[in-house]
Amino acid sequence: MVETEAIVLRKEQFKLETVDTGALGKTDLLVSVKAISVNPVDTKVRKGFGGASSDGKILGYDCAGVVEEVGSECKLFKVGDEIWYAGNIARQGTNARKHVVEERLVSLKPKNLDWSQAAALPLTTITAYEALFVHMNLQADSEGWLLVNGGAGGVGSIMIQLARQLTKLKVIATASRPETVEYCKKMGAHHVVNHHDLLKEVQAITPQVNYILSSYSSQEGIDTFVQLLASRGRVVAIDEPKGLDTSSFQSKSAGWHWEFMFSVALNEPGSTSQHELLKHVAQMVDDGKIQTTMNTKLQGFSVENLDKAHQMLSSGKTIGKVVIEF
């Protein structure tokens, strides 16, 4: 057990406290955290934690840092390794100077990125990668059209890059502001359309699309997706809408899939799929094929910076990722 400074959530308020990391498991790593990024899941957990007990919770999932100690049965890493990962939502998070994580969820970070640039990527990269290659079942020779809803967001901006580098798909991204349109183009989108008139703008490019990332799901959106989707197409949703009726996809023999990147940590004990995934993407970064999606960096580990990052995410206007460098 190690004492560390951490930012603890207590009834929706962040408090800087000294906490115990807990015992290091046999396959756990103790990590000295160098940078973190904030994701929409952080803000959702914060809102849902208001009535929780006084035990408190440490949020934060993305991390880039250095291995300080390894569990007795660790085989993948050694002390001093520079790593990146997105962790496990069921354990305490990375908003701390030291953090404990299962080694199977971790890989060596890209050599060509600094701490902040690296911390921007793991959670969104895993989400986008699993959406593309697990749920959409894409291959290197896959062709057709991919619609990325929310192309300038954290997941959208890395999904555009992965699809361009690892498939033969044509990518259409949605964005509505000049700066977000340019960002999607920078990430590699073939076309950028305005989500406010999605059906008309997409069909001006192609009658139908084969795959859709749904970052902001709604019943109205589903009705549009059904019109846009080709027969046997697939939609992958990454948000948490309530009460959606997806039965209209039956007429297209189409699939609606949910992507939740923590499901591997929660439901697949022993799986090293995310270790291999992050290892693959780290190599792509070092080969110059993938760029960081960090767009805002806050300097210094503090309650003020974490609150500011959450406010930025909650505004819905962030581009790419918000990172805090320690």
Structure tokens at 6: 């951490």
The CA distance from 30 to 12, in Å, is 27
What pLDDT does residue 55 have? 66
Over residues 96-145, the pLDDT tens digits come to: 999 999 999 999 999 999 999 999 999 999 999 999 999 999 999 999 99
The structural domains of the chain, with segments of one domain joined by +, span 3-120+293-325, 124-258
DSSP 3-state assignment of 192? strand
CA distance 267 to 265: 6
In this structure, the strands spanning 209-214 and 229-237 are parallel
Name the pTM for this structure. Answer: 0.96
Residue 14 · residue 303 · CB < 8 Å: yes
CB 74 within 8 A of CB 29: yes
Helices (H), 142-300: 154-166, 178-187, 198-203, 219-228, 263-267, 273-286
Q: Which CATH architecture has domain 3-120+293-325?
A: Alpha-Beta Complex (3.90)
Q: What is the pLDDT of residue 296?
A: 96
User: 30-77 pLDDT, tens per residue?
Assistant: 999 999 999 998 998 888 755 444 468 999 999 999 999 999 999 999
Residue pair 211/147 in contact (Cβ under 8 Å)? The answer is yes
Average pLDDT over residues 154-178: 97
Which DSSP state fits 269? T
Q: What is the pLDDT of residues 291-326, one digit of tens each?
A: 999 999 999 999 999 999 999 999 888 999 999 999
Say which CATH topology domain 124-258 has. Answer: Rossmann fold (3.40.50)
Residues 254-290 have pLDDT tens digits of 999 999 999 999 999 999 999 999 999 999 999 999 9
